[in-house]
Amino acid sequence: MDRGTSAAPAAGRGDHPFAVGPDSGSPDLAGSSWGPAIELGATLAKTVAHFWPDLGGWLGGLADTRDQQRITYSRRFLVWMGLAVFLLKLGSRRQVRFELDSPVALANLNRLAGASQEAVAHGDTLNHFLGHLPERELPSLRRRMVHRLIRMKAVDDGRLLGHFLVDIDGTGQLVFDHRHCPHCLEQTINGRKCYSHHVLEAKLVTPSGLALSIASEFIENPGPNRSTQDCELNAFLRLAERLKKDYPQVRLCLALDALYANGTVFQICRENNWKFIIAFKEGSLPALWREYQTLLGLCPRNRTQHRPDPDTDQTFAWVGDLEHTDDHGRTHRLTAFQCQEQEGENHRFFAWLTNFTVNQQTVVRLANDGGRGRWTIENEGFNIQKNGGFALEHAYSTSDRQIKNFYVLLQLAHLILSRLVGNGTGQPARRRRPTPLRQPAGHGPPTGREPPPLAHPPGGDRLGCRRPNPHPLGQFLTARL
């Protein structure tokens, strides 16, 4: 029997089991369709066993401050329940009660967790557990999962000139019309005060469209009586420290927007031996921009042409050895480069600052796979997590610790899905630019140790959800798990 699992589902404090199977308040299953028989559901368990064979042990080792003598549900089972909320794109904690209310769902969750629970836990039990899970635990689990992918070279296609490309950007998570907690950020919109929670996210991105969360830093005020609010740049200082601690030997290249074009960011990258590609705009560093524009005409050899497809023409130019002295008197040597793209009648212009060596051999990759790779964190990352069924902006809880733990669970679920279906969208991954690239290592049928076969509902092929999930990826995942 698992540690922390009792023989009978007698409810302890914070544990709310409920009977599985149909009930009078649920839709009639007799007339519902289970969907086509797709032999892909079991691939989830096989994928997890292939990429993270030690995941069960990691989950069992999570710190848990609940009274271990009074609990009913093991931490492994509850973490998998939390992951299922996002893997199946249920959209809210409440949906656990309706969507996973079947013996098949219970059997499959037990197999995934290596548990033997006799009932599916209530959503409030999951919330109670996450309140007793220290904030460091799930980020530590994510670090182990990412390190495993790096060691097995499963994300090596994301290397840019030998460095993993890490996009860093902030996003809104929750918005309230009242002060939700002492850490809320305040903002006045059209004369009305809003209270919000934001997150600064670091995602490892690849040319095939993957956007894997590797670290998160919550942007929050220390208390209601603060003199200034927390901001994205302050959060970056904390995130950079976390990245260096979690990935000390990994060669990183940070892809950043123009907000980060300042001496502090340059210095942090220098001290941590990181590369960077930062969007370069006239308003961010005006003096350096004017110097770049002046020297650009004096370097006619620093140009090259590229045609990524028959309808698109790109012209690249660059100027190296630009000198910038920041507000603290530190001198930084930078290279500025740009891309002018003509696609039919559409003209686009991009410019960046970098500490890479830019030349005829590197400029195309640095621009197309590096600088322009920043779209991945918005489209394949935040956009999918907000509008693709993950419901990132939904309040899965109203307590501070639970909010953060639910957020990291969402990132873990997206990480697992990315290994299952390429880019986490439910659609095959594709490259942004048509330049050749080898098939990503780690893709293809999983091999190695496989878990026990998962249960199938009688006459059906879903994980046990009572209603078909409207999102295609959710339906794909619930098929024959």
pLDDT digits (tens, 9 = 90+) for 385-434: 888 889 888 899 989 999 999 999 999 999 998 888 754 444 444 444 43
306 forms bridges with which residues in the sheet?
A: 314
Lowest mean pLDDT among 18-27, 58-67, 213-222: 18-27
Q: CA 389 to CA 212: how far, in whole Å?
A: 17
Domain boundaries, given as residue ranges, for the chain: 1-154+400-424+442-481, 155-388
- Per-residue confidence band for 377, with pLDDT thresholds at 50, 70 and 90: low
- CA gap 165, 203 in Å, rounded: 8
Mean pLDDT, range 62-81, rounded to an integer: 94
For residue range 233-254, what is the model confidence (pLDDT) as tens digits? 999 999 999 999 999 999 999 9
Q: Which of 36, 123, 23, 143 is nearest to 81 (CA)?
A: 123
End-to-end Cα distance, the chain = 24
More confident: 320 or 449 = 320
Q: Is the distance from CB of 368 to CB of 396 less than 8 angstroms? A: no
pLDDT category at 3 given cuts 50, 70, 90 is very low
Residues with Cβ within 8 Å of 130's Cβ and at least 6 positions away in sequence, in order, are 82, 397, 401, 402, 405, 406, 409
Closest CA to 75 of 122, 130, 119, 20: 130
Alpha-carbon gap, residue 174 to 407, rounded angstroms: 11
Q: Among residues 101, 115, 28, which one has the least CA distance to residue 464? A: 101
Q: What is the mean pLDDT of residues 274-282?
A: 96
Q: How many CB atoms lie within 10 A of CB 132?
A: 17
Rounded distance, CA 204 to CA 156, Å?
A: 11
Whether residue 224 has pLDDT greater than 80: no
212 and 155 Cβ atoms separated by less than 8 Å: yes
Q: Residue 245's CB: how many other CB atoms inside 10 A?
A: 10
Q: Residue 8's closest CA among 100, 88, 119?
A: 119
Q: Is the pLDDT of residue 35 over 70?
A: no
Residue 184: which pLDDT band, with cuts at 50, 70 and 90? Answer: confident
Q: One-letter amino acid identity for 376?
A: T
State the chain's mean pLDDT as an integer.
81
Q: Kindly tell me if the per-residue pLDDT of 275 is higher than 50.
A: yes
**Residue range 89-102, pLDDT digits in tens:** 889 998 888 888 87
Q: What angle do CA 22, 24, 28 make, to 5 degrees?
A: 60
Query: Is 419 buried (19+), middle (13-18) or exposed (0-12) by CB count in 10 A?
Result: buried
By the 8 A CB rule, do 195 and 179 touch? yes
Q: Which residues are paired to 186 by β-bridges?
A: 195
155-388 under CATH 3.20.20.105, yes or no: no
Residue type, 268: I
Give pLDDT, residue 191: 83
Alpha carbon distance 9, 16 (integer Å): 9
For residue 127, is pLDDT > 50?
yes
Q: Is the pLDDT of residue 451 over 90?
A: no
pLDDT of residue 214: 97
3-state class (DSSP) for residue 342: strand
* pLDDT for 323 beyond 50: yes
- % of the chain surpassing 90 pLDDT: 54
Question: What are the pLDDT digits (tens) for 329-369?
Answer: 999 999 999 999 999 889 999 999 999 999 999 999 999 99
Residue environment code for 435-456, b if the CB has 16+ CB neighbours within 10 A, otherwise e: eeeeebebeeebeeeebeebbb
Q: Where are the beta strands (DSSP E) in 137-184?
A: 159-160, 163-176
pLDDT at 339 (0 to 100): 96
